[in-house]
Amino acid sequence: MANMPISEMHLPPHLAHLLAARRLDTAKDVLSLPEVELMSVLDSGLPTARAAVAHVSEAACPPCQTALALLEERVRLGGGGRLATTLCGLDEALGGGIPLGKLTEVVGPSGIGKTQFCLKLSLLAALPEYYGGLDGRVVYIDTESKFSSRRMIEIGQKSFPQIFRQEGLAQKMAGRILVMRPTSLADFTKSLEQMKVTLLQHEVKLLIVDSMAALTSLENEKATSGFRQHPLRWALSFLKSIAELSRIPVVVTNQVRSQSNDDGYHFSFEVDRKDGNNCAERFDSHLIAALGIQWAHATTVRLVFESHSGHRFIKVAKSPMSPAVAFPFVVESSGITLLSDEGIDVTGPEITSIRCEGQNILAR
């Protein structure tokens, strides 16, 4: 809750005005300052500085809840507050769907179906509640220019033909999705700073970032690893705070990279820059999620999209609601369809591994 705005803390009026006048806008701005420095910034004595820290700490820290209170809240929200994916087996494994107020990561090689999954989620969030949607707007941050309104409408027409036959509904659904296309990590950071206002003004019910790895790959060409990780950590913290404060699902796609010793940041979408088929074969041998351990630990749910044994799979690699389980799927005109709602148990190293069979998927 470090990025919780001071304006939403309901502080005593005199303290709220004082902090605003000194441009201390978030909990982090106040709590990261030593007492002496805070006294200097506020131009006040020690009691005022300590009062500010106490009030901000109380407002920003999540209150303690009993297990019974959490269970009652889940019942009140109807299944814990989730966005159903309409993939029955996956929804059951996730306790109803993509959790609200949490960060969900979708990771896999390029071309395997991550964007198709995100397009369907966008459509579902925009649908009226009586059709199973969230009846809200969607902010779709498209860093790779892969978002397609035409494809999303096609998914809607094939998935919900009875709904999309209604005149003007397809246009209405498309009009609820706000697409942003930052070209750098700096632009992305600036977009996030403006996001709070957008969420409040437009009744946003879903935030998608597709994908973070593309932005960090560009920054890698300009900076060292240490410089790159600082804005990435800030973006991660801000995305988590948006999810928690706004109680909406935040879905972020992530690419995979090679574990090769001589190419520590070799992303799947960069394969075509290398030297032919031999490189693709090397790349497929050792795949791990990009963005590192810190990013992996920060996500509540990790869905791995992978390919092996002649099929594509959605693997629930990390979830507080489910053991590791995988579902075979295909991509059709209606979007992603599970071949079976019976999940396949995943154990041992297979839980964290990411498999990509050959170079067929990467070539699409």
CATH number at residue 175: 3.40.50.300
State yes or no: pLDDT of 271 exceeds 70: no
For the ranges 107-116, 202-211, 228-237, 306-315, which has the lowest average pLDDT?
228-237
Structure tokens at 144: 């790779």
User: How far is residue 184 CA from its own chain's centroid?
Assistant: 18
For the ranges 67-71, 75-79, 201-205, 310-314, which has the lowest average pLDDT?
75-79
Q: Which residue has the higher pLDDT, 206 or 294?
A: 206
- pLDDT value of residue 1: 60
The predicted model gives 332-358 an average pLDDT of: 90
Evaluate whether residue 196 is within a structural domain: yes
Please indicate, yes or no, whether residues 252 and 214 belong to a single structural domain of this protein.
yes
- pLDDT value of residue 212: 84
Q: Which CA distances in Å does 282 have to 25, 257, 258, 261, 313? A: 48, 11, 8, 12, 21
pLDDT classification of 113: cutoffs 50, 70, 90: very high
Evaluate whether residue 198 is within a structural domain: yes
State yes or no: pLDDT of 362 exceeds 60: no
For the ranges 90-99, 108-117, 219-228, which has the lowest average pLDDT?
219-228
Evaluate whether residue 109 is within a structural domain: yes
State yes or no: pLDDT of 108 exceeds 70: yes
- pLDDT value of residue 225: 44
Evaluate whether residue 129 is within a structural domain: yes
pLDDT classification of 360: cutoffs 50, 70, 90: very low
Evaluate whether residue 73 is within a structural domain: no
Please indicate, yes or no, whether residues 205 and 330 belong to a single structural domain of this protein.
yes
Please indicate, yes or no, whether residues 20 and 95 belong to a single structural domain of this protein.
no
Please indicate, yes or no, whether residues 19 and 113 belong to a single structural domain of this protein.
no
For the ranges 77-86, 94-103, 176-185, 261-270, which has the lowest average pLDDT?
261-270
Q: Which residue has the higher pLDDT, 58 or 154?
A: 154
Q: Give percent above pLDDT 90 in the chain.
A: 30
Please indicate, yes or no, whether residues 26 and 107 belong to a single structural domain of this protein.
no
Please indicate, yes or no, whether residues 231 and 346 belong to a single structural domain of this protein.
yes
Write out the residue range of the structural domain in which residue 24 sits.
12-60
State yes or no: pLDDT of 229 exceeds 60: no
Measuring CA to CA, which residue among 323, 298, 324, 310 is closest to residue 236?
298
State yes or no: pLDDT of 78 exceeds 80: no
Evaluate whether residue 150 is within a structural domain: yes
Q: Which CA distances in Å does 264 have to 111, 225, 254, 312, 336? A: 21, 11, 16, 26, 32
For the ranges 29-38, 194-203, 325-334, which has the lowest average pLDDT?
194-203
Please indicate, yes or no, whether residues 35 and 84 belong to a single structural domain of this protein.
no
State yes or no: pLDDT of 67 exceeds 80: yes
Please indicate, yes or no, whether residues 228 and 319 belong to a single structural domain of this protein.
yes
Please indicate, yes or no, whether residues 38 and 105 belong to a single structural domain of this protein.
no
Evaluate whether residue 65 is within a structural domain: no
State yes or no: pLDDT of 45 exceeds 80: yes
Please indicate, yes or no, whether residues 249 and 119 belong to a single structural domain of this protein.
yes
pLDDT classification of 73: cutoffs 50, 70, 90: low
Q: Which CA distances in Å does 107 have to 19, 32, 97, 301, 318? A: 40, 33, 17, 11, 12
Please indicate, yes or no, whether residues 92 and 228 belong to a single structural domain of this protein.
yes
Please indicate, yes or no, whether residues 22 and 97 belong to a single structural domain of this protein.
no
Number of domains in the chain: 2
pLDDT classification of 280: cutoffs 50, 70, 90: very low
Evaluate whether residue 271 is within a structural domain: no
Q: Is the peptide bond before 7 cis (omega within 30 degrees of 0)?
A: no
The set of residues, in sequence order, having a beta carbon less than 8 Å from that of 167 and lying 6+ positions away, is none
